[in-house]
Each structure stands twice: as structure tokens, then as C-alpha cells.
Amino acid sequence: MATFSKDGFNADSYMTYRPTYNKNAYSYIFEVHQGDLELAVDVGCGPGTVTIELAKWCRQVIGIDPSNSMIEVAQKTAQQQGLQNVTYRQGYGEQLPLEDQSVDILTVAQSLHWLDPSKFLSEVKRVLRPKGTLVAWGYMFGKLCFDDNTSQQEYQDTLAQLGDPDKGGLLGSYWEKNRAIATAGFVSWLPEFQKVFKKVQHLSYPTLLTPSSMILTMPWMDDSDISFHQLIAYVKTWSSYKNWLDAKRQQHDDDDDGDIVDTFFKNQFPSVSLDTLVHVQWPHSVFIVSNPYSSTL
């Protein structure tokens, strides 16, 4: 999460333009969870998107993130909503500032690829109560559809074409090294979970990601209907875009090529106005794990 901790990262934009998770997500989590609801912890909480939802279900909630700017936005949001049972701490998933066997539910949303599996799961095993539950999920590149006559098939993978290095994306080389984990739906974590936990459930939407997965019949993310302007603003919350900006500044690149994201979308959609509506489907991947093995990692 180092990029989101850098000076100049706009956590407010992240909160405003990133997609969110619907009621199905939280209903499912608390339906399958068999333990108490005393303490929930949201690791890699960012601006508190998930943290504030957990506060509706649990007596106390702690959000943990290494980024000061993210924590500041999260705290402001909690204060605006009058939440008395939410606190935030700066920290890392590999060194959780929590007591042993103190956590009932631990969530990780869109953050697994930032974490070291062995160190993080060792900490999860340490802090979870006997009936505790770990829920981790995230989304891949969104699929685009337009409300006009624009060819659906031609443009549905536009975001991947910009961000995926395997597709030659212009921002592909600016991601951190573990970004491919998120692009693939975090499935590389499945064997890591299975090493540590007896109960491991993997679900995905809209398609199966592994032979042992199940389809989410009720997706955790609603499709978005957003303007072209909002779509571009969302892309500019990517860590790869922040890394591109930093590289451009470090190189004192004052040429007239302009902004890489603005230029890409202008070239791809020369006749599309900023207020044109775009329909976005968010493929996503969910892990629900519990009952750790008694042997040490």
C-alpha cells in the first residue's frame, strides 16, 4: 500500500470514485459468521468504506491502514456519520496492533495483493477468536457498456486495455509488482488460505475463477451507471496512475503529451462527451475462511 501512503495521494477522490459493496456482502458475511460480534477489524481499510458498514453490525470496529491520508478521510467520514464505535489505527496487516484472540471478524477488501501471505495469515491466526471469521474480497478490471450504439464487445475491456500489462496497457508497467494477483481475482491466495484454515470458501462473480469456486448468485457489487467523467476520475484513483504522475514529475517531463489517462480516453472515444453514461460491471472474488489448524505456520 506504499503508493497510497505517498505525499499527494488524493484519498478523498478514492472515497468518492471507487466502487462500493452492497447489502448482499454484509448480509452474507454475518449470516455465515458463527462467532460473537464484539470486535470487527478492517485491514487495509482505506477511507473506511467497509469499516463504517461493519459498525452497523458489531459493537466495536477498528480500521487499520498504513496511509495517513486514508486514515484522515476515514476518521472524517466516521465523525460526519456520528459513529461512536469506530476507531482507526495506522498499521500493517503483517504486524497487527491487536491482542491475541481478540477479533471476531476480520475483513480485507481490495487489499490482499498488498499483503505478504505468510506473515499476514500468521497474524490473522494469532488475533482471531476461536469462532472468528476472515473475509477477504476484491474486484478486477470493470467491464464497460454504453447506453448509446457504441459497440459493446469492442469496448468492454477498455479498463484492462489501459491498466493490464498483459494487454499492453499504458499504465501496466506502473503498478506495484503484486498487482497481477488482483487482476487474476486473488486466486493465488486460495492455497495460502487452505494451508492455515480448515474451512475455506471461494466465490466469484460473474464467472468461475477456479474449478472449486462457486458462483455468487447475489453479487456483492452492484453494476455502476456513471458518467464518462466519473469513469476517468475513478481510473485516476489507481495506484499506477499516481506512480505515473510521480515518475513524470521526477523526470521533469514538461512536454505537451498531456495526461496519460485523458489522452487514452480521448483517443479511444473521440466522439463521447464527458456526461455520456457508462454501465460498468465489476467482476469480483470472495474468500470466507474460518477454523484455523492448531499447528503453527
Say whether pLDDT at 276 is over 60: yes
User: Quick one: average pLDDT of 140-151?
Assistant: 76
Say whether pLDDT at 148 is over 60: no
| Separation of alpha carbons 245 and 261, rounded Å | 11
Higher pLDDT among residues 153 and 17, named by residue = 17
Three-state secondary structure of 136-199 = EEEECCCEEEECCCCCHHHHCCHHHHHHCHHHCCCCHHHCCCCHHHHHCCCHHHHHHHHHHEEE
Determine the pLDDT at residue 249: 87
Model confidence, pTM: 0.93
Name the band, by pLDDT with cuts 50, 70 and 90, for residue 25.
very high
Name the band, by pLDDT with cuts 50, 70 and 90, for residue 296.
very low
Residue with cell 468492454: 156
Contact predicate 70/11, CB 8 Å: yes
Say whether pLDDT at 179 is over 90: yes
Say whether pLDDT at 150 is over 70: no
Name the band, by pLDDT with cuts 50, 70 and 90, for residue 146.
confident
Determine the pLDDT at residue 254: 60
Domain with CATH 3.40.50.150 in the chain: 1-139+184-222+283-297
Higher pLDDT among residues 148 and 9, named by residue = 9
Contact predicate 39/62, CB 8 Å: yes
Indicate the Cα dihedral angle 53, 20, 134, 192, nearest 10°: -170
Name the band, by pLDDT with cuts 50, 70 and 90, for residue 196.
very high
User: Quick one: average pLDDT of 221-250?
Assistant: 95
Q: How many CB atoms lie within 10 A of CB 100?
A: 10
Contact predicate 182/138, CB 8 Å: yes
User: Poorest-confidence range of 17-21, 38-42, 99-103, 177-181?
Assistant: 177-181
Name the band, by pLDDT with cuts 50, 70 and 90, for residue 145.
confident
Determine the pLDDT at residue 152: 56
User: Quick one: average pLDDT of 261-279?
Assistant: 94
Q: Is 168 left (phi over 0), alpha (psi -120 to 50) or beta?
A: left
Name the band, by pLDDT with cuts 50, 70 and 90, for residue 251.
confident
| Separation of alpha carbons 55 and 61, rounded Å | 6
DSSP assignment string, 87-152:
EEEE-BTTB----TT-EEEEEEES-GGGS-HHHHHHHHHHHEEEEEEEEEEEE-PPEEEESSSS-H
Which three cell numbers mark 100? 491475541
Please enumerate in sequence order all residues whose Cβ is within 8 A of that of 202, keeping only pairs 6 or more positions apart, or say none: 187, 190, 209, 210, 212, 213, 214, 285, 286, 287
- Give percent of the chain with pLDDT exceeding 90: 86
Name the band, by pLDDT with cuts 50, 70 and 90, for residue 172.
very high
| Separation of alpha carbons 234 and 138, rounded Å | 16
In the chain, the amino acid numbered 138 is: G
Quote the mean pLDDT of the chain.
92
Can you identify the CATH homologous superfamily of domain 1-139+184-222+283-297?
A: Vaccinia Virus protein VP39 (3.40.50.150)
Distance of CA 80 to CAs 40, 73, 75, Å? 21, 11, 9
User: Quick one: average pLDDT of 95-119?
Assistant: 97
